[in-house]
C-alpha cells in the first residue's frame, strides 16, 4: 500500500489548532499553543480564520435532516472511533455539521459571500475593547511598558485620587467595553463575538462615526504599541482589584479631558512620580476654584459658621436696598418687553420673603446684588474685607488668591452664597433619586453624559430650580419674570399681555 503523502506545515498547524479549540490538548500543549499565538502573527491569523469558520457554521440556517440520515451518520462516526470508547467529540460534531452544509438554505455560496463581506467587521469585533479603550489605556501606560500602567493606576488609587463614587449616581458611566475583559491576545470565544456583534448593531449613527474614528486611530499605531495595549488589557483583567482600577482609570481619563490642551500635554509628558505630584496639585487647585460651587460645607467648620453669620447679617442689613433693587429689576424687565407695569403688585412682591428676593436677584441681577453685599466703600464696612478679617487664614487664602481681581472675589462670594442656600436645605438621597426618575429621557441622557461630579451638581441644581420655579436654560427676561410671579402667586394680578393696563 502506498504511504500517505507527508502533511504540510499548514495542515499540521490546522490540526493542532482544531485540537486546541476542541479541548483535546494537554495543559502543557495548550501553553505551547498559546505562547505561539502570542508570538507568531501568522499562527494567530490562522487561529482567527479557523475560529471564524466554525462561527459561520453555527450561524447557517439549516434544513432539518430526517432521522435516518442523522442516525446513519452518527453510527458511522462512532464505528470509526470504537478504539477511543467515546461518543461524539467536538471534532466529530463539526464533521457532521460539514456534512449538513449542502442541505443549508444558503449553501456554500452564502458562506463565501459572508466571509468576503464581513472581514472588516470581523476585525472590528475581535479588537473592539482595544479600539474603544486604546486612548484610555495609553494615558496610563509609560512608554511600551504595560506593567507601568497597572502600577500607575494602583498609585493613583492609593492616593485617593479619582476614586470617590457617589452612591446617588444611578447609571454606569463606563463604556461597555470597560467591562469586556476577554483576553486580547487570543481570539474571543463565540459567545463574546455574538455579544460584541449585537452591541455594534445597536449603535446610533453618531456612535458609529465615533467608533470609526477610534478604529482609524488604532490602526495608525504600530504593532509594538498594539501588543503593549493587549498586554496591558490582559494584565488589568487579571488584577484582583480590577473594578476599582477600571473606575479610577475611567475617572482619570474624563478628568484629563477638562484640562487645557497645553496643560494636559505637559502632564502626560511627566514621568510617573512627577505626574502623580502634578495631578495632586491640579486637583487641589480645582477644588479650591470650585469651592463655592461644590458647597460651603467644604469650609472648615468654624469658618462655615462665620460665613453664614456674615451672610445673614449682610442680608438683614441691606434688606431695604435688596427690596428696592428687586422692584427696579422687575420694572426694567417689563419695560424691556414693552409690557405695562403694575406698581401695586410690584410693591407686594417687594414685601415678600427676603429669601425669594435674594434668589431672584441672584439669577436676574447677579452683579449688582454682589456689589450690594461685597462693597467695601460703605460707611460701615461689612463687605468682603470684613469677611476676610473674621475667617481663618485657611479660608482667607482662598479669598485672597494672588491672581484674583475684585470681580473674582465677588463671584467667589456669590458662589458660596448659592452653596449656603442649598446647604441650609439638604436633599435626601431618596428625593433626588425620585426626582431623577421623573425627568424626561432627554434630560436624563444629558445628565448621564456628564462627569459624575458635574452630574451630581447639575441634578442638585435642577432639583432646586424646580422647587423655586426657575430654570437654568437661559430663559428670556419675560419668562423669568413670569416664573417669579407664578412663584409669588401674583401672576393674574400683574397681567401678562401687552394690552394689560
Summarised one tens digit per residue, pLDDT across range 144-191 is 999 999 999 999 888 767 754 333 333 334 456 677 777 777 777 788
Please measure the distance between the N-terminal and C-terminal CA atoms of the chain and give it in whole angstroms: 116
- How far does CA 278 lie from the centroid of its chain? 23
Indicate if the pLDDT at residue 57 is higher than 70: no
Domain co-membership, 336 together with 484: yes
More confident residue, 238 or 379: 238
- Identify the domain containing residue 74 by its residue range: 9-118
Domain co-membership, 375 together with 334: yes
- Answer whether 373's CB lies under 8 Å from 411's CB: no
Q: Give the pLDDT band of residue 430 (cuts 50, 70, 90).
A: low
Domain end position, chosen among 283, 314, 333? 283
Indicate if the pLDDT at residue 217 is higher than 60: yes
Q: Domain for residue 3, yes or no?
A: no
- Give the other-Cβ count within 10 Å of 303's Cβ: 19
Mean pLDDT, range 205-227, rounded to an integer: 89
pLDDT at 409: 84
Q: Give the pLDDT band of residue 408 (cuts 50, 70, 90).
A: confident
Among 169, 316, 309, 314, smallest CA distance to 250 is for 169
Mean pLDDT, range 248-252, rounded to an integer: 87
Q: Domain for residue 442, yes or no?
A: no
Q: Which residues contact 125 (CB under 8 A, 6 or more apart)?
A: 188, 193, 196, 197, 200
Mean pLDDT, range 49-69, rounded to an integer: 49
More confident residue, 382 or 116: 382
- Answer whether 477's CB lies under 8 Å from 364's CB: yes
Q: Domain for residue 453, yes or no?
A: no
Domain co-membership, 135 together with 79: no
Q: How far apart are CA 166 and CA 256, in angstroms?
A: 20
pLDDT at 120: 56
Domain end position, chosen among 118, 134, 161? 118
Domain co-membership, 339 together with 227: no
Mean pLDDT, range 355-381, rounded to an integer: 80
Cell of 27: 495543559
Among the listed ranges 212-221, 374-383, 401-410, which one has the minimum average pLDDT value? 374-383
Q: Quick one: 309 exposed, middle or buried, by C-beta within 10 A (0-12, 13-18, 19+)? A: exposed
Q: Domain for residue 455, yes or no?
A: no
pLDDT at 227: 92
- Calculate the alpha carbon distances from 214 to 129, 131, 204, 220, 221 in Å: 11, 6, 15, 10, 11
More confident residue, 111 or 141: 141
- Answer whether 332's CB lies under 8 Å from 368's CB: no
Domain co-membership, 127 together with 63: no
Indicate if the pLDDT at residue 109 is higher than 60: no
Q: Domain for residue 444, yes or no?
A: no
Among the listed ranges 187-201, 216-230, 308-322, 484-498, which one has the minimum average pLDDT value? 484-498
Domain end position, chosen among 61, 84, 118? 118
Domain co-membership, 138 together with 110: no
Helices in 101-145 by DSSP H: which ranges? 107-117, 119-126, 128-138
More confident residue, 298 or 85: 298
pLDDT tens per residue, range 457-488: 678 777 766 654 443 333 344 454 455 555 44
**Residue 170, SS3 per DSSP:** coil
What phi-psi label fits residue 427: left (phi over 0), alpha (psi between -120 and 50 degrees) or beta? beta
Task: Annotate 319-362 with DSSP letters as a single string.
Answer: HHHHHHHHHHHHHHHHHHTT----HHHHHHHHTS-HHHHHHHHH
- Answer whether 276's CB lies under 8 Å from 156's CB: yes
Domain co-membership, 301 together with 366: yes
Q: How many structural domains does the chain have?
A: 3
Domain co-membership, 19 together with 38: yes
Domain co-membership, 95 together with 181: no
Indicate if the pLDDT at residue 16 is higher than 80: yes
Domain co-membership, 391 together with 313: yes
Q: Domain for residue 113, yes or no?
A: yes
Domain co-membership, 127 together with 114: no
Among 413, 420, 402, 404, smallest CA distance to 375 is for 413
Domain co-membership, 279 together with 296: no
- Give the other-Cβ count within 10 Å of 445's Cβ: 11
pLDDT at 465: 64
Mean pLDDT of the residues in the chain: 71
Q: Domain for residue 439, yes or no?
A: no
Q: How far apart are CA 185 and CA 37, in angstroms?
A: 8
Q: Domain for residue 27, yes or no?
A: yes
pLDDT at 470: 40
Amino acid at each position: 500500500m502506498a504511504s500517505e503523502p507527508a502533511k504540510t506545515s499548514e495542515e499540521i498547524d490546522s490540526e493542532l489548532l482544531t485540537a486546541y479549540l476542541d479541548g483535546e490538548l494537554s495543559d502543557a500543549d495548550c501553553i505551547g499553543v498559546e505562547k505561539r499565538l502570542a508570538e507568531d502573527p501568522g499562527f494567530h491569523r490562522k487561529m482567527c480564520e479557523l475560529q471564524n469558520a466554525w462561527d459561520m457554521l453555527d450561524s447557517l440556517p439549516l434544513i432539518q435532516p430526517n432521522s435516518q440520515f442523522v442516525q446513519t451518520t452518527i453510527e458511522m462516526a462512532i464505528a470509526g472511533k470504537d478504539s477511543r470508547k467515546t461518543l461524539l467529540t467536538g471534532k466529530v460534531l463539526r464533521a457532521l455539521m460539514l456534512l449538513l452544509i449542502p442541505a443549508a438554505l444558503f449553501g456554500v455560496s452564502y458562506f463565501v459571500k459572508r466571509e468576503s463581506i464581513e472581514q472588516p467587521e470581523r476585525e472590528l469585533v475581535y479588537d473592539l475593547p482595544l479600539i474603544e479603550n486604546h486612548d484610555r489605556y495609553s494615558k496610563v501606560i509609560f512608554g511600551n511598558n504595560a506593567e507601568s500602567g497597572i502600577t500607575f493606576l494602583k498609585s493613583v488609587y492609593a492616593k485617593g485620587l479619582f476614586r470617590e463614587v457617589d452612591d446617588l449616581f444611578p447609571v454606569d458611566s463606563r463604556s461597555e467595553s470597560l467591562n469586556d475583559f476577554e483576553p486580547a491576545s487570543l481570539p474571543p470565544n463565540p459567545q463574546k463575538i455574538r455579544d460584541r456583534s449585537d452591541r455594534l448593531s445597536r449603535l446610533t449613527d453618531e456612535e458609529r462615526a465615533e467608533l470609526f474614528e477610534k478604529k482609524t486611530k488604532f490602526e495608525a499605531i504600530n504593532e509594538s504599541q498594539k501588543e503593549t495595549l493587549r498586554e496591558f488589557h490582559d494584565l488589568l483583567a487579571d488584577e484582583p482589584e480590577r473594578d476599582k482600577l477600571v473606575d479610577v482609570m475611567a475617572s482619570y481619563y474624563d478628568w484629563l479631558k477638562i484640562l487645557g490642551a497645553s496643560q494636559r500635554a505637559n502632564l502626560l509628558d511627566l514621568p510617573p512620580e512627577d505626574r502623580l505630584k502634578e495631578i495632586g496639585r491640579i486637583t487641589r487647585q480645582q477644588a479650591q476654584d470650585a469651592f463655592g460651587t461644590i458647597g460651603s460645607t467644604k469650609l472648615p467648620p468654624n469658618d462655615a459658621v462665620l460665613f453664614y453669620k456674615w451672610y445673614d447679617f449682610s442680608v438683614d442689613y441691606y434688606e431695604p436696598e435688596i427690596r428696592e433693587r428687586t422692584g427696579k429689576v422687575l420694572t426694567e424687565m417689563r419695560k424691556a418687553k414693552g409690557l405695562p407695569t403694575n406698581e401695586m403688585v410690584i410693591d407686594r412682591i417687594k414685601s415678600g420673603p427676603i429669601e425669594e428676593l435674594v434668589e431672584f436677584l441672584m439669577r436676574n441681577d447677579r452683579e449688582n446684588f454682589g456689589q450690594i453685599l461685597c462693597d467695601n466703600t460703605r460707611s460701615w464696612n461689612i463687605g468682603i474685607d470684613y469677611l476676610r478679617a473674621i475667617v481663618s487664614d485657611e479660608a482667607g487664602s482662598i479669598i485672597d488668591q494672588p491672581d484674583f481681581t475684585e470681580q473674582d472675589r465677588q463671584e467667589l462670594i456669590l458662589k458660596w452664597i448659592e452653596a449656603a442656600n442649598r446647604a441650609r436645605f439638604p436633599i435626601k438621597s431618596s428625593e433626588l433619586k425620585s426626582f431623577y426618575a421623573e425627568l424626561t429621557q432627554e434630560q436624563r441622557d444629558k445628565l448621564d453624559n456628564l462627569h459624575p461630579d458635574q452630574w451630581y451638581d447639575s441634578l442638585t441644581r435642577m432639583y432646586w430650580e424646580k422647587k423655586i420655579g426657575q430654570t437654568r436654560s437661559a430663559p428670556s427676561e419675560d419668562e423669568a419674570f413670569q416664573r417669579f410671579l407664578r412663584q409669588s402667586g401674583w401672576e393674574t394680578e400683574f397681567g401678562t399681555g401687552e394690552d394689560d393696563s
